[in-house]
Amino acid sequence: MKKILYVALAALAISAVGTAARAADVVTEQPPAPPAPVVVPVFSWTGVYLGANLGYGWANTNIGGDDNGFVGGGQIGYNYEFGNHLVLGIEGDMDATGMDFGGNNVDYTITGRARLGYAFDRWMVYGTGGVAYAKAGDFHDTGWVAGGGIEWAATDHIVPGIEYLHYGFNDFDHTGVNADADVLRARISFKF
């Protein structure tokens, strides 16, 4: 009887070891975690910028003696982007010019403008308008300026663009001369 009991216990032990071995084979490895998604940051137009511009201007007065010429200078501004599309900004610029108003060389122009733009990620189209100041020889006057442009963020900091501006001066420095100018210029800005 003892032999039968030992054989039964041995069979039970072998069976338990075999079941445990088969159970160990059932355990599978966890699949690897999926790779982390690649996140491409969306460009933001928000920030301060400083840059330079170069272009050409066409002058016109009601008395003649006008001359067209090159324009060039610099700009500084600030943009704030709302909701990845709407961009509001302010900008100031100063340009030396080769234009003449009625025989008087337009030494320089200065503008202070608001900008309203629509961004397509790294591209932005905008309209702009504000106050203009011009000095032409011994005369100087304040008028208005309006225009528009397109900019492209080539990198997170380098932003080239093209801009058109129309300047208007009524009764320039109380001389009876109505003067205006159209300027087309290329620009490049460094965004901080």
Instruction: Report how far apart, in Å, the C-alpha atoms of 88 and of each of 114, 115, 117, 187 are.
Output: 8, 6, 6, 19
Residue 124 · residue 117 · CB < 8 Å: yes
Please give the pLDDT value at position 25.
Answer: 53
* List of domains in the chain: 47-191 (2.40.160.20)
Please give the pLDDT value at position 33.
Answer: 82
Residue 166 · residue 185 · CB < 8 Å: no
Please give the pLDDT value at position 6.
Answer: 61
Q: Mean pLDDT by 10-residue block, N- to C-terminus, for the chain (192 residues)? A: 62 59 60 78 92 97 93 98 94 97 94 97 97 96 98 97 98 94 98 96
Please give the pLDDT value at position 30.
Answer: 81
